[in-house]
Chains A and B, each alone.
Chain A
Amino acid sequence: MNFQLFVPEIILAGTAGLVILVDLFVERKGALAVLAVLGALAAIGYTITLWGGSATGLFGGRLAVDNFALFFKLLILGIVVVVVLATADYASKMERFQGEYYALVLTSALGMMVMSAATELITIYVGLELASISLYALVGFLKDPKSTESSLKYLLLGAVASAVMLYGMALIFGVTGQTQLSAISSAIGRLGLSGALANPALVMGVVLLLAGFGFKIATVPFHMWVPDVYEGAPTPITAYLSVGSKAAGFALVLRVFSTAFGEPGWLSQNWGMLFAILAAISMTLGNTVAIPQTNIKRMLGYSSIAQAGYLMVGLAAAGLAGGTDTLGGSGVLFFLASYALTNLGAFVAIIAITNKIGSDLIQDFSGMGRRAPLTAGVLTLCLISLIGMPPAAGFMAKFYIFSGAVQNGLLWLVIVAAINSVVSAYYYLRVVKVMWFGEPASAEPVPSSGAMRVGLAVTSLGVLFVGIAPGFLLTAAQAAARIFTS
């Protein structure tokens, strides 16, 4: 076995341990953030050198090292960097346990990286629990009643989802006798069309698995936790949940469904249509309920449910296309990367503003356009990107993911999704309106620290770059998704 391929994970685990150790000795806790960022950057650097190599396995084929996994590893590590930068100002709210905070962010990233690479059911579970348990603790980090409540809610619902998923895995194992995804696929192929559909245990297993994953990607009807947890968690962790956890969840869904249930074609057509219906419901519910929200974190929680709906349009396309998919899978990847940039940008801006005004209510953002023009500008750009308007990344992401759906005969879903984007414009623009046209509560400017400014610059330039010149990211996403096309 070639341990070189595992170096990014080792670097990340090592950094997590080092952060806790250094925490014992240094007084200035800012050093911990620097250390965490450096560790993540080192892992990014090493992962880039692995990009483009031929696909291999680790630990007897339990972890894959292919472009798909590497794409997600880079994405997750990039997210970690921005989340740590965004915490720099926020950390003052947490006097104690800053070392543990950064270490937990790193270990959950490690779990997400395992999730994106796992090709075997047990490994998937281990990765998912590593990510989840770290996040349960992070959500409750503020120790105020709201944060504690949301942590408890997340823990309980998450545990139920894990149990359901584990049950599904057990059923699938019972029917096929395999835990390796590719082996499950061939076992189902042997059952044949009538054999597989007549087997209630298998169908049940697939549905339960979907329920477990649905919790991670926050889709209807497994979305109940989202608004409360998003509202109560420390804001950087909300950002982390909304992009990191979702990205890893989609990596899992794509790999498991495309590999284990991707062949034969009739099977993937079935779950493809299932995702199409879930997508339509998820985006409609998310967007409709987001409209009356008054708390910006809660609003973005519902918005993330809607975005999961748009993402599932890509899953539906990938499913309906079967093994010949060219746009659906890569569309999900491209959308996830654009969404990560956009949502992180929005959250960094929100953290910068809420740190100063001490409120998450949208009405308190009034007049921010005058008090903090650059931060408000970045937030405006990101909200425009979330609507899906050019020249921001969100437009290209929607264009590309919708094109995959049209290619596979899902024009009705594209029309639903496009009209949903119009509905979403209403509540995203309300924030823009409050910021630029509202009267400021005071003339005092809202400064942001150097770390925040780096975060704002990276994300907003990224949003514009992907929106104007998407070719680079698109090529990478297509290279990553190519592992599913036969």
Chain B
Amino acid sequence: MSFPYLSTIVFLPVIGAILILALAKRDRAVRWTAAIFTFIPLVMALALFVAFDRSGGAALVQFEEKIAWIGPLNISYHLGVDGLSLPMVVLTAFLGFVVVLISWKEHLRVREYFAWLLLLETSILGVFASLNLLLFFIFWEIEVVPMYFLISVWGSGRKGYSATKYVIYTLFGSALMLAGILSLYFTTGTLDIMDLSQRGLALVQTALPAAGMFFLLLAGFAVKLPVVPLHTWLPDAHTDAPTAGSVILAGVLIKMGGYGIIRTVSIFPSVAQQYATILVVLAVISVLYGAAITLRQTDLKRMIAYSSVSHMGYVLLGVFALGQISMTGAALQMVSHGLLTGLLFAMAGLTMHNVHERDLRKLGGLANQLPIIAVVFSIAGLGSLGLPATSGFVAEFLVFTGSFGSGAAAGMAVFTILAALGVVLAAGYILWMLQRTFYGPVKEQFNGSADATRLDRVYMVAFVILILLVGIFPTVLTDVIQKGITPIVSLLGG
């Protein structure tokens, strides 16, 4: 057996967490341990990304690891990445390292903080790397605990309320998901994701309607994505979480939902086709409703949080347009939104940390005092509203092009045009937010506020490079994503 690259990537952060709790006494040592144990997975994930075989005849799943785990249930410990999950693993490793840098100035209960952060990274990496549904579900559930602690101890505002709400929503979704996984297990006799999607419902032995299982699984993912009307946990959790928590939440955690939905489609292609209309309608509602609510927010973080609801609507639209281009766009949108909103939250956190104010009505003119933050914040904002040359443009363009001509539901063109209105609204709220925060008359009370430190600039530059790279050379990502999307589209008969 070759070297277990994926296991190493997934479990290094949690090993770091254990070392921190067991050995590291001084805050400095804690920070460096966290940095090292997130940096190595990042380097390894990038190496896997480079080494991933993109050629036509290459194996679908690469870097596979499979060992027997629970013998009596015939469940194995099965890791591997395909074109769909590899970009998410890289994104998670990247944000995992970045949030350690973002949290460098954290002073409250530092050891526990970094231990939870590292455990969180392991669980998310595990979700993306698992090829067995039980293993997937275990990582999915573990993620809830560190997030709960991160929000309730290091958060702000109504943090206890938000954390509990987050947990209850997620557990509610995963309760239904567990029921779906179990029925899938007994109708097909396997929990292996690749088996399930390649051999599909040929495995189904009993009469339990496939649609039932489809919606049970979908429920769990729809809470996470989130899809309106299951989204109300998101603004609370994103707003009250500490900056690192918001970055991880918006950057990769909600992508677990999108990723799960694509996997579900690959397991139930015919059911997905049958119910595409409903989900496309929900997607359009998420886009427009999310954007409309964003417009009237007055809190900096809450605004970015609500914009996620709208942007994740594009993912849902792209997936259920059920075409090669639209699904590639959806997968790309997940990565792109991860980078853009990750950066937006990082910048919002930095702004709040430096000027101690987050109310948009009281902010203003900060471009004068915080020029570097203002520039980077604006780049992230413009990317988020889909300016060409940023990753946001490519992703949304692919989603709209793909869904406009899709035959997944009657009137896809109309739905696409409606969803595209979301971009107009996005331009409205993003520009309004930038204008309220950074432009306008200079306010005296913010004089003397610190701009980004050298450490902040490091990750800001990394973010901006990645956003522009994906925006200008999208093939870096799309040729990998294609490898994951093509087999799913062929299952759909496209």
Contact = CB atoms under 8 A, between A and B. Distances in A.
Interface in B200-217: 208, 212
Contact of A419 (B138, B172, B185, B212): B172
A391 B135 CA distance: 10
B164 A426 contact: yes
B176 interface: yes
B72 A471 contact: yes
B144 A389 contact: yes
A399 B178 contact: yes
Interface in B372-398: none
Contacts of B212: 411
A475 B72 contact: yes
A187 interface: no
Nearest to B70: A471
B49 interface: no
A437 interface: yes
Interface stretch (A90-98, A164-172, A243-251, A402-410): A402-410
Contact of A390 (B72, B141, B185): B141
Interface in A356-412: 384, 387, 389-391, 395, 399-400, 402-403, 406-407, 411
Q: How large is the interface on A (under 10, 10 to 19, 20 to 34, 35 or more residues)?
A: 20 to 34
A390 B144 CA distance: 10
A384 B153 contact: no
Contacts of B145: 384, 389
A40 B289 CA distance: 65
B168 interface: yes
The residue in A387, A421, A425 that gathers the most chain B C-beta atoms within 10 A of its C-beta is A425
B167 A433 contact: no
Contact of B171 (A391, A422, A469): A422
B71 interface: yes
B128 interface: no
Contacts of A474: 70-73
A415 interface: yes
Contact of A399 (B134, B171, B172): B134
B152 interface: yes
A425 B172 CA distance: 10
Interface in A52-98: none
B293 interface: no
Nearest to A380: B145
Contacts, number: 84
Contacts of A421: 171, 175
Given A402-B178, A421-B175, A429-B167, A475 B71 contact: yes
B473 interface: no
A422 B178 contact: no
B70 A422 contact: no
Interface string B145-168: 100110011000000100010011
B275 interface: no
Task: Say what secondary structure dominates the interface of chain A.
Answer: helix
B183 A411 contact: yes
A414 interface: yes
Contacts of A399: 134, 178, 182
B144 A478 contact: no
B69 interface: yes
A429 B70 contact: no
B179 interface: yes
B208 A411 contact: yes
A321 B212 CA distance: 23
A197 to B, nearest CB: 29
A470 B73 CA distance: 10
With a 10 A CB-CB cut-off, give which of B72, B142, B149, B183 has the most chain A CB atoms.
Answer: B72
A399 B148 CA distance: 23
Nearest to A405: B182
B432 interface: no
A257 interface: no
Given A411-B208, A422-B175, A437 B152 contact: yes
A253 B182 CA distance: 26
B73 A418 contact: no
Given A436-B153, A474-B70, A418 B178 contact: yes
A402 B164 contact: no
Nearest to A470: B70
Given A403-B182, A411-B179, A425 B70 contact: no
Given A402-B178, A425-B167, A425-B168, A436 B183 contact: no
Given A437-B152, A437-B153, A415 B179 contact: yes
B176 A418 contact: yes
Interface string B43-86: 00000000000000000000000000111110000000000000
B185 A403 contact: yes
B175 A419 contact: yes
Contacts of B185: 403, 406
A395 B176 contact: no
A383 to B, nearest CB: 11
B274 to A, nearest CB: 21
A402 B71 CA distance: 18
A387 to B, nearest CB: 8
B121 to A, nearest CB: 16
Interface in B399-444: none
B168 A395 contact: no
A478 B186 CA distance: 18
B73 A400 contact: yes
A390 B138 contact: yes
Contact of A429 (B148, B178, B179, B182): B148
Nearest to B72: A474
Given A429-B167, A436-B153, A470-B70, A407 B186 contact: yes
A433 B186 contact: no
Contacts of B164: 426, 429, 433
Contacts of B160: 433, 437
A205 B447 CA distance: 85
B167 to A, nearest CB: 6
Contacts of A426: 164, 168
Interface string A405-445: 01100010011001101100110010001001100000000
A389 B179 contact: no
Interface in A142-164: none
Interface in A448-486: 469-471, 474-475, 478
A314 to B, nearest CB: 14
Nearest to A384: B145
Contacts of A389: 141-142, 144-145, 171
Contacts of B183: 406, 411
Contacts of A471: 69-72
Q: Which of B148, B167, B182, B185 has the most CB of A within 10 A?
A: B182
Contacts of A402: 178-179, 182
B405 to A, nearest CB: 39
A425 B165 CA distance: 11
A390 B139 CA distance: 8
A403 B186 contact: yes
B485 to A, nearest CB: 30
A170 B176 CA distance: 45
Given A395-B141, A437-B153, A414 B73 contact: no
In this complex, which of B73, B152, B164, B178 has the most chain A Cβ atoms within 10 angstroms of its Cβ? B178
Given A422-B168, A429-B148, A471-B70, A406 B138 contact: no
Given A390-B141, A399-B182, 9 more contacts: A384-B145, A391-B138, A391-B142, A403-B182, A411-B179, A411-B212, A415-B179, A426-B164, A475-B72
20 contacts: A399-B134, A399-B178, A402-B178, A402-B179, A406-B179, A411-B179, A411-B183, A415-B179, A419-B172, A426-B168, A429-B148, A433-B152, A433-B160, A433-B164, A436-B149, A436-B153, A471-B69, A471-B71, A474-B71, A474-B73
Interface of A: 384, 387, 389-391, 395, 399-400, 402-403, 406-407, 411, 414-415, 418-419, 421-422, 425-426, 429, 433, 436-437, 469-471, 474-475, 478
Nearest 6 A/B pairs, CB to CB: A418-B175, A390-B138, A406-B182, A422-B171, A474-B72, A422-B172
